[in-house]
C-alpha cells in the first residue's frame, strides 16, 4: 500500500489556498434534519492519516446549512418527488414499474446507501447505486438503462439514498473489493493535471482553508447526491469528481469508468463513521 503523500507545499507555492483554518468554521455545529441529529464528525478509519472525518456540511455557510435542515427548504427534495413519480411509472417491455415488485415502496432499501459501493456476488463486480437501478430497468423491466449523472438517474439515486438518511456509512474495503480499493487509494494520492495536484492535496492536506471563494472540506461523499446552488440541480458523486479534476486542469476520467468506480469506493470508505445525508445541499 504505497502512499504518495505530498505536503501542501506545492499548492502553497501556487498561492491558491488562503485564510486561517478555522476562523469561520463552527466545527461544533449540529446538523439536525427533521428532528434527527446527524453525525457530522467521527473518528477516522485506521487507514487514514487524519484523526477525524468531517462532513462537508460543517464547512458550508449558515445559510446553506439551514437549507439542508428543513425538507421543505431543501431544493434536493423536489427531485426526490420527481423520482417517486418515476418509481410508480410503468416502463419497458415487461409492463412493470419499480412499485410493481417493491410493493413496500423505496423504504425497503433502508440501510443500502450506507454500504455503497459494494460487491455484487452474482454479477461478480463492484456495484454502485446506478448499477442497481439499471440492472432493474434492463433485466427486470425490459427498459432502457438510464444515463449516469443525468437528472432522471440522479433523482432515483436520491430517492433510494434518502431511505438511509442518518445511517452510519459502513463501506467494506476488504475481500473481493480490496484490489479495487487499493487502486482508488492510489488514484486519490496521484498528482494530475496542469496544477499537478492530487485529491489529497486539497481534501486531506488543506481542508478548512479557502480556495478562491470556496472553503475546502474533506471531500466526503456521504451527502450525495448533492443539490448544488451553483448549478441548481442534483449532482452525482462522479460528476463532482469530474468537476474537481477539471478544476486542476486534468483530463477527467469518464463517468462510470473503472478509475472513477475505484475512486468512488475509496472516497466512500474515507467517510466510514459519518452519516448518510443525501440529498445534501452544497454551494
Residues that bind ligand HEC (CB under 6 A): 56, 96, 98, 100-102, 109, 112, 132-133, 136-137, 140-141, 156, 160, 197, 199, 201-203, 211, 214, 216-217, 219-221, 223, 226, 240-241, 244-245, 247-248, 263, 267, 282
**Alpha carbon distance 129, 118 (integer Å):** 9
Report the nearest approach of ligand HEC to the CB of residue 8 (Å). Answer: 10
Annotated catalytic, 199? no
Q: Transcribe 83-129 into DSSP letters.
A: HHHHHTS-BTTTTB-HHHH-TT-GGGGTTTGGG-SEEETTTTEEE-H
Look at strands 118-120 and 210-211 and give their pairing.
unpaired
Nearer Cβ to ligand HEC, position 6 or 112?
A: 112
**For residue 57, which phi and psi values (nearest 5 degrees)?**
-60, -40
3-class secondary structure, 44: coil
Report the nearest approach of ligand HEC to the CB of residue 217 (Å). Answer: 4
Give the residue among 164, 160, 158 at the shortest CA–CA distance from 76: 158
Annotated active-site residue in 101, 199, 202, 244 = 244
Report the nearest approach of ligand HEC to the CB of residue 35 (Å). Answer: 23
Give the rounded distance of the alpha carbon of 280 from its chain centre.
10
Helix (DSSP H) and strand (DSSP E) numbers for the chain: 10, 12
50, 43 in Cβ contact below 8 A? no
Burial string for 107-130 (b: 16+ CB within 10 Å, else e) reads: eebeebbbbbbbbeeeeeebbbbb
Nearer Cβ to ligand HEC, position 65 or 217?
A: 217
3-class secondary structure, 188: helix
Nearer Cβ to ligand HEC, position 71 or 152?
A: 152
C-alpha cell at 173: 474495503
Nearer Cβ to ligand HEC, position 96 or 147?
A: 96
Report the nearest approach of ligand HEC to the CB of residue 38 (Å). Answer: 13
Nearer Cβ to ligand HEC, position 82 or 211?
A: 211
Report the nearest approach of ligand HEC to the CB of residue 98 (Å). Answer: 3
User: Which residues does the annotation mark as catalytic?
Assistant: 244
Amino acid at each position: 500500500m504505497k502512499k504518495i503523500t505530498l505536503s501542501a507545499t506545492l499548492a502553497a507555492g501556487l498561492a491558491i489556498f488562503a485564510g486561517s483554518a478555522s476562523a469561520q468554521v463552527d466545527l461544533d455545529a449540529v446538523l439536525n434534519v427533521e428532528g434527527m441529529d446527524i453525525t457530522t464528525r467521527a473518528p477516522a478509519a485506521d487507514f487514514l492519516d487524519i484523526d477525524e472525518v468531517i462532513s462537508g456540511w460543517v464547512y458550508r455557510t449558515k445559510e446553506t446549512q439551514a437549507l439542508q435542515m428543513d425538507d421543505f427548504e431543501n431544493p434536493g427534495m423536489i427531485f426526490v418527488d420527481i423520482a417517486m413519480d418515476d418509481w410508480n411509472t410503468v416502463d419497458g417491455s415487461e409492463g412493470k414499474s419499480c412499485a410493481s415488485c417493491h410493493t413496500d415502496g423505496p423504504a425497503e432499501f433502508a440501510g443500502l446507501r450506507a454500504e455503497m459501493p459494494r460487491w455484487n456476488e452474482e454479477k461478480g463486480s463492484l456495484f454502485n447505486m446506478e448499477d442497481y437501478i439499471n440492472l432493474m430497468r434492463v433485466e427486470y423491466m425490459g427498459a432502457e438503462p438510464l444515463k449516469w449523472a443525468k437528472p432522471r438517474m440522479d433523482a432515483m439515486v436520491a430517492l433510494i439514498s434518502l431511505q438511509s438518511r442518518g445511517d452510519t456509512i459502513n463501506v467494506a474495503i476488504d475481500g473481493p473489493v480490496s484490489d479495487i480499493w487499493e487502486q482508488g487509494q492510489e488514484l486519490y494520492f496521484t498528482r494530475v493535471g496542469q496544477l499537478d495536484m492530487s485529491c489529497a492535496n486539497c481534501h486531506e492536506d488543506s481542508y478548512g482553508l479557502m480556495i478562491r471563494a470556496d472553503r475546502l472540506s474533506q471531500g466526503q461523499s456521504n451527502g450525495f447526491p448533492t443539490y448544488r446552488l451553483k448549478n441548481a440541480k442534483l449532482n452525482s458523486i462522479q460528476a463532482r469528481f469530474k468537476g474537481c479534476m477539471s478544476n486542476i486542469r486534468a483530463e477527467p476520467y469518464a463517468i462510470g469508468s473503472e478509475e472513477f468506480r475505484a475512486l468512488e469506493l475509496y472516497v466512500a470508505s474515507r467517510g466510514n463513521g459519518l452519516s448518510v445525508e443525501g440529498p445534501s445541499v452544497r454551494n
